Amino acid sequence: MSEFSRSSQGSSPVIGRSGVLIVYALYIARFFTGISLLAGVIVAYLLRRSSVGVERMHLNWLVRLFWYDVAFIIGSAALFLACFLTEPPGSSGPGQLLFLLPIGIFAIWNIVLLVSLVVGVRGILAGSGPLPERFRGLAE
């Protein structure tokens, strides 16, 4: 039994790396289908149990990105609702510009998320961490 676990651990980096790439692909597919992000975080949680090293850093970062995304979606929706309650659509006035605030925050977050996913894919392909050295504290 212990030999089986040793041999499976020996092949773990290949499976872990491809598993991490699958999770990144699911996260990137989030921009086209919203449900793939949920599938990606489930796969990340499952793969994180048996991963070590760089793969574990990437999976931890992907799980953290999921929760950041949930927070930004809820925050943007709450801000949009607050704007809607203070200045309902159909009314005229400068209050209509308030609606640009949650839309802008959500758009900027999506750009940041996409850039961090692309940087993470480059990192896993290079065998390094999910972020450049100067931002390494964010991923740990």
**Mean pLDDT by 10-residue block, N- to C-terminus, for the chain (140 residues)?**
37 66 92 88 89 87 92 89 77 72 89 92 86 67
- The residue type found at 115 is V
Q: Are 129 and 57 in contact (CB under 8 A)?
A: yes
Q: Model's pTM, two decimal places?
A: 0.77
Q: What pLDDT shows up at residue 6?
A: 35
Q: How many residues does the chain have?
A: 140
Q: Are 75 and 60 in contact (CB under 8 A)?
A: no
